[in-house]
Amino acid sequence: MGFSQDMSDETASAAVVSKSAEPTSNRSSKLISKTVYATYYARKFEGRKTTSGTRYRRQKMTAAHMNLPFGTIVTVTNPLNGESVEVEVNDRGPHSRKVKIDLSEAAAKAIGIYGKGIAKVEISYLPEEDD
């Protein structure tokens, strides 16, 4: 992923990306896309444990979502500028009816919503595979 944090966290992230990057002819047709509101973590959360047990690091490409499984890779796009980023779900939240995804600071900056508080974004992800 290119961000420095515990090796175990990077290894887990890389494994998830590799799994998602495999040829997925059946899964790719199941891509789920939604337009939702997003926010980003306040700096006071830096270093705190997330619900998944990893520590929040503002420079990592991570996100909180209320019900997507931990490890899900979500593409988040700012429709106003077309900028996109891939984030890994590693926390639960945001605890709001209106806001559906909470981005790390790095992710919010990458798509140009940092400093806006709340922004409309497009999210897309592959559903869990049925075993």
CATH label of the domain that carries residue 95: 2.40.40.10
Q: What does DSSP say about strands 32-40 and 73-77: parallel, antiparallel, or unpaired?
A: unpaired
Q: Is residue 27 part of a domain?
A: no
pTM for this predicted structure: 0.78
Q: Print the domain residue range for 94.
A: 7-19+32-125
User: How much is the mean pLDDT over the chain?
Assistant: 84
Q: Going by C-beta distance under 8 Å and a sequence separation of 6 or more, which residues neighbour residue 123?
A: 33, 34, 35, 36, 38, 74, 75, 76, 77, 100, 101
- Number of folded domains in the chain? 1
Rounded-to-integer distance, Cα 42 and Cα 54, Å: 17
pLDDT tens digit sequence for 12-66: 333 233 333 444 455 557 999 999 999 999 999 999 999 999 999 999 999 999 9
Q: Which two tokens stand for residue 37?
A: 């509101």
Q: Going by C-beta distance under 8 Å and a sequence separation of 6 or more, which residues neighbour residue 103?
A: 38, 39, 40, 41, 62, 63, 76, 87, 111, 113
Q: What are residue 31's phi and psi, to 5 degrees?
A: -55, 130
**pLDDT for position 128:** 85
Q: Is residue 48 part of a domain?
A: yes
